[in-house]
Amino acid sequence: MVIPVHDVNPVRRTPWVTYALIAANVLVFLSTPGIAGSVAGGSDLVQLCHLQAFMDHYAAVPRELIHHQMPRLVPTGGVGVGPHGPGCVVAAPGYDKSPPLSVFTAMFLHGSWLHLLGNMLFLLIFGNNVEDRMGHIRYFLFYVVCGYAAGYGFALLNASSSDPLIGASGAIAGVLGAYLVLYPKARVWVLVPFLIFLPLRLPAWLVLGFWFGLQAVYSSGHGVSGAGTVAYAAHVVGFIAGMLLAWPLKPGTPPPPEPRGLLFGRRARPRQAWQTW
């Protein structure tokens, strides 16, 4: 997997919404009960039970979204001892949960620093240009719509699942799809793991097309064992939604500046300019 670090595509206005989304995700992550232990790498049972109860309350659950069936028993955050030893206490939910609203709250939940930082890196690099093209309000609405499309799309494909769905990946996938439509020729600096991290400057259509291809392959169960614990199908749906929503804006989008030099290496040799007489 290539790691994007910077795109050669300046913006005309400050991407306040992108910055606000990143700040909100970080603040929610740091305030999530039980997350401190996972950050330190030494979660105990009490922290895990608090984290599980919090996620079940605010995460999106496919079975709840499709069938509107709330579970009879949910984790309370407490710890008890049962026939099989210590575990998390479950009881009837003491709260009313709105499944549609949970899709929105789930966009700001992350299970680890790696999950959070990976999402925020993609949002920072590609979100600023999409926001610049759409404008602040329209960009925020676009972000939320892509997140909902990804959440419900995943739920339709996994209607019987009771596993919580968390993360901003679906909404950010929509941002990537929009970037691919609006700026396919923009150059993106990436790190490619090949013995060492090799810096390359590649066109956005190659970077994002490769990313989408991997998500599509993984969502089918190929390349990973049982599709892992990552909601790859949500990435695919969010990406396609972002492409479709951004397509009407493509004709009026100015092209990114043409970078000078070769496509790789730190000291790129400038290309010769052809002159017309």
Comparing 259 with 266, which gets the higher pLDDT?
A: 259
Q: What pLDDT shows up at residue 201?
A: 92
pLDDT surpassing 50 at residue 153:
yes
- Give residue 79's pLDDT band: very low, low, confident or very high (50, 70, 90): confident
Query: Exposure pattern of 130-143 as b/e (b: 16+ CB <10 Å)?
Result: bbbbbebeebbebb
- What is the rounded CA–CA span in Å between residue 181 and residue 205? 9
- What is the rounded CA–CA span in Å between residue 257 and residue 139? 22
Residue-averaged pLDDT of the chain? 86
User: Residue holding tokens 């999950």?
Assistant: 115
**β-pair partners for 74:** 91
Residues 210-219 have pLDDT tens digits of 999 999 999 8
Residues 85-143 have pLDDT tens digits of 787 888 888 888 899 999 999 999 998 899 999 999 999 999 999 999 999 999 999 99
In the chain, the percentage of residues whose pLDDT exceeds 90 is 57
